[in-house]
Amino acid sequence: MASLLYGQRLLMKSKSVAMVWSRIAVIVFIGAFSLGSVGAQTSSTFPAKPIKVIVPFPPGGGADTVIRLMTPSLTDLWRQSLVIENRPGASGAIGAELVAQSAPDGYTLLMGSTAAVTDKNVSQFAPVALVSASPYIVTMNPILNIRSITGLITYAKANPGKVRFGSSGAGSASHLAGELFASMAGIDLLHIPYKGTGQALTDLLAGHIDLMFAPAQTVMPQIDTGKLLALAQTGAKRSEALPTISTVSESGLPGYSAVGWFGLFAPAATPRATVQKLNQGVVTTLAQDKVKKAMLERGSDPAGGSAEDFANFLRVDQAKWTKLIKENRIAVQ
């Protein structure tokens, strides 16, 4: 009889434990479903507040100009405002670091470039989209009366270290394009770094420097008015935006090619779904006729493509410049 009572109690206890675990399982399932729903809702409703875009250079430069051209269309598309914030310094490193340390939620982005995103810090970011990969313009102040690439090379060989070329900072695309030119031409140019393209342009117009490898959107207005001269463009082929300007390779330095790129980045841990949504917005904006027209008028070729395409582009581009820097012992930030 005692054994029978013990067995009944054991059976009742087992049923009670099973009921408890069953309730826990239901709670866990509901909790997991709720979390999944929240994640889906977060992805579907992004962006739900204004997005800040850090430009790591002063106003008036290439990166600043391009993102401001895109801002009205992105604002309409996302139904949220874009807040552009210029944080110049250290060839773009200060602004880049600020974004890298931001919350990885898609609400703080970097308008990056060759200088701001390097092989040393690229792992801190999630590439969102390539915005533009355009040739630079080899631009001179008319005071030296040099009007061709061959003329520039001849003068520089006769006057080593006398031709002063400005850039938006050590390690920037405008710096590295000039160093590549000097290396391939066998000449010595004097590099003068600035905090941004806008400041370098001011000194070029004033005659404090002689030469720039500059974003077209920065210097074309001055070239059109005759204040500056365009010797050539730096791409491997003529840009759609600059069909009448010959390439450096065509003009006396065969094989030379360099482009300056701009692209959007998010902090490294940003969810893939958020990155994809940001990418889709940029690609859609770059495909709009009014945006393409505005960029081309300023000498900037619209890019686009997936986030993965951008990551692949970065690997190839950085390998090229890393090789140049090491072989020529170029000082960068």
Position 170 confidence tier, pLDDT thresholds 50, 70, 90: confident
Q: For residue 6, what pLDDT is reported?
A: 42
In the chain, what is the greatest distance between 2 CA atoms, to the nearest angstrom? 117
**What does the pLDDT read at residue 17?**
40
Same domain, 264 and 128: yes
Residue in 277, 269, 262, 311 with CA at minimum distance from that of residue 101: 269
Query: 174 is written with which tokens?
Result: 């405008």
Question: Residue 30: is its pLDDT beyond 70?
Answer: no
Do 212 and 291 fall into the same domain?
A: no
pTM of the model: 0.74
How far the first Cα of the chain sits from its last, in Å, is 88
Count: domains in the chain:
2
Structure tokens at 293: 């027209």
Residue at 43 is within a domain: no
In a domain, 26, yes or no: no
Residues 143 and 227 in one domain: yes
The verdict on 271 and 172 lying in the same domain is no
Kindly tell me if the per-residue pLDDT of 255 is higher than 50: yes
R_g of the chain computed on alpha carbons: 27
Peptide bond into 47 cis (omega under 30): yes
Query: Is 247 within 8 Å of 254 (Cβ atoms)?
Result: no
Instruction: Please name the residue that has the structure tokens 């970011």.
Output: 125
Per-residue confidence (pLDDT) for residue 42, from 0 to 100: 53
Domain match, 130 and 203 both: no
14 pLDDT exceeds 50?
no
Q: Check which CATH number belongs to the domain holding 122 and give it.
A: 3.40.190.150
Crossing angle of helices 272-286 and 62-78, rounded to 10°: 100
pLDDT digits (tens, 9 = 90+) for 274-314: 999 999 999 999 999 999 999 988 878 899 999 999 999 99
pLDDT at residue 15, rounded to an integer: 44
- Domain range enclosing 305: 51-134+260-328
pLDDT computed for residue 288 by the predictor:
96
Pairing of strands 211-215, 51-55: unpaired
